[in-house]
């Protein structure tokens, strides 16, 4: 799956208004999905690998997630992803944090247009134990729409 993003992170002033561009994550990402129907459970599970991205100085590299709870509904495909290990997430002052993302994903038709939604939850990762705890960092839902 290719994702073409126009994603920008802005600094906010005290009123919550955009005050300046902090990071520009616009670009193209390529993801590889491998899925299989399990004989033991009749469920579809698998993995997703982040193959490549066209962004300058991206910390997003070598990411793998498990895929489960795959559902085919009328005009909708949905699944959950749970990131394996961790990734480097840029934070304030160009410092990086070790985080893991779990997400609910949907691809569906709306007004004859394809829409992809990624609703991720961020977890801080302890690098010694690889245990996860809910992070203070939050992300808005990522929505990509067919033009």
Query: Is 66 contained in some domain?
Result: yes
pLDDT in tens, 97-138: 899 999 999 999 999 999 999 999 999 999 999 999 998 877
Contact 115, 143 (CB under 8 A): yes
Q: Which domain holds residue 74?
A: 31-145
Domain count along the chain: 1
Query: Is 9 contained in some domain?
Result: no
33 closest CA partner among 105, 131, 99, 88: 105
Query: Is 3 contained in some domain?
Result: no
CA–CA gap between residue 79 and residue 22 (Å, rounded): 31
Residues 6+ apart with CB under 8 A from 72: none
Query: Is 4 contained in some domain?
Result: no
Q: Which region among 17-31, 63-77, 81-95, 117-131 has the lowest average model confidence (pLDDT)? A: 17-31
Total-model pTM: 0.78
Contact 58, 68 (CB under 8 A): no
């Amino acid at each position: 799956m290719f994702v073409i993003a126009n994603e920008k992170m802005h600094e906010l002033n005290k009123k919550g208004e955009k005050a300046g561009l902090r990071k520009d994550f616009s670009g193209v990402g390529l993801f590889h999905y491998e899925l299989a129907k399990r004989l033991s459970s009749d469920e579809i599970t698998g993995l997703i690998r982040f193959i490549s991205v066209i962004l300058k100085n991206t910390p997003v590299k070598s990411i793998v997630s498990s895929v489960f709870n795959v559902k085919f509904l009328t005009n909708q495909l949905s699944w959950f992803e749970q990131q394996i290990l961790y990734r480097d997430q840029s934070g304030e002052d160009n410092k990086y944090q070790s985080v893991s993302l779990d997400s609910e994903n949907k691809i569906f038709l709306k007004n004859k247009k394809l829409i992809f939604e990624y609703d991720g939850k961020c977890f801080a990762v302890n690098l010694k134990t690889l245990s996860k705890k809910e992070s203070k960092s939050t992300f808005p839902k990522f929505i990509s729409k067919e033009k």
